[in-house]
Amino acid sequence: DVEMTQSPFSLPVTLGQPASISCRSSQSLVSSDGNTYLNWLHQRPGQSPRRLILRVSERDFGVPDRISGSGSGTDFTLKISRVEAEDVGIYYCMQGTHWPRTFGQGTKVEIK
């Protein structure tokens, strides 16, 4: 199975400041079709997860452009340019290239 490793585990941030989360996979996530199926999801307390980013860097509908994804192969990053109160919660990376699908362990973002 592909192991997804996120860091940090916890990320205290100041409103208006940037934040960055790393995700590393134990195998390349480049698919045989040439796409890299790396997703980022956000889960607010008491809510279902919501996908923010697909295929490394494509934002889902309604996701603000202050949230961005980057990376390739096995190393990926989610960045928030200016953290807002609505950004608190847990962020997960998830790979959709290999079976079984696997998630990172999550990064908890909270306001300082």
Question: What residue ranges bind another protein (CB under 8 A)?
Answer: 1, 35, 37, 39, 41, 43, 48-51, 54-55, 60, 90, 92, 94, 96-97, 99-106
Q: How many CA atoms lie within 13 A of 55 on its CB side?
A: 7
Quote the tokens at residue 14. 């100041």
Question: How does DSSP classify residue 86?
Answer: G
Nearer to another protein by Cβ, of 71 and 104: the residue is 104
Q: Is 41 or 83 the residue whose CB approaches another protein more closely?
A: 41
Minimal distance in Å, beta carbon 81 to another protein?
23
Q: What is the DSSP string of 52-72?
A: EEETTTEEPTT--TTEEEEEE
CB of 31 to another protein, least distance (A): 8
* Nearest residue (CB) to another protein, 50 versus 82: 50
- Return the number of the residue (16 or 46) whose C-beta is nearest another protein: 46
How far apart are CB 48 and another protein at their closest, in Å?
A: 4
Residue whose tokens read 């996530």: 29
Q: Which residues contact 75 (CB under 8 A, 6 or more apart)?
A: 22, 23, 24
Task: Tell me the closest approach of the beta carbon of residue 20 to another protein, in angstroms.
Answer: 20
Query: Could you give the CA distance from residue 4 to residue 27 in angstroms, rounded to a whole number?
Result: 9
